[in-house]
Amino acid sequence: MPGTTLDYHNDSISLRVVEALADATDTDAHELEPLYNVVDPEALDTLFERDSSVPIRVEFEYDDSSVEVRSDGTVTVDGTVHDSR
């Protein structure tokens, strides 16, 4: 989808993770290995779309990168914040 831009306030957390990985690895998002090879994007989206007073944090490895997603919308790759709602 060349030319497609994401609206970080409305797009799913899994799309924000892909964009953060692309930014961190200096790779076009379309050239990355599919996220579903590492984590179920639909489950991730479902987990983070719920309004909850309980803090949620999911961590996983993607290629050689450590990814963390927090319930406040923060996405970090190798400890660097790449996105926050």
3-state secondary structure the chain: CCCCCCCCCCCCHHHHHHHHHHHHHCCCHHHCCCHHHCCCHHHHHHHHHCCCCCCCEEEEEECCEEEEEECCCCEEECCEEEECC
| pLDDT number for residue 22 | 95
Report if residue 71 sits inside a domain: yes
Residue range 21-26: mean pLDDT, rounded: 94
Q: How confident is the model at residue 6 (pLDDT cuts 50, 70, 90)?
A: very low
Evaluated on CA atoms 37, 24, 60, 57, the torsion sign reads negative
Owning domain of residue 52: 13-83
Report if residue 5 sits inside a domain: no
Report if residue 1 sits inside a domain: no
Total number of domains in the chain: 1
Report if residue 23 sits inside a domain: yes
Report if residue 20 sits inside a domain: yes
pTM for the full predicted model: 0.81
Q: What is the pLDDT of residues 24-40, one digit of tens each?
A: 999 999 999 999 999 99
pLDDT surpasses 90 at 57 = yes
Report if residue 8 sits inside a domain: no
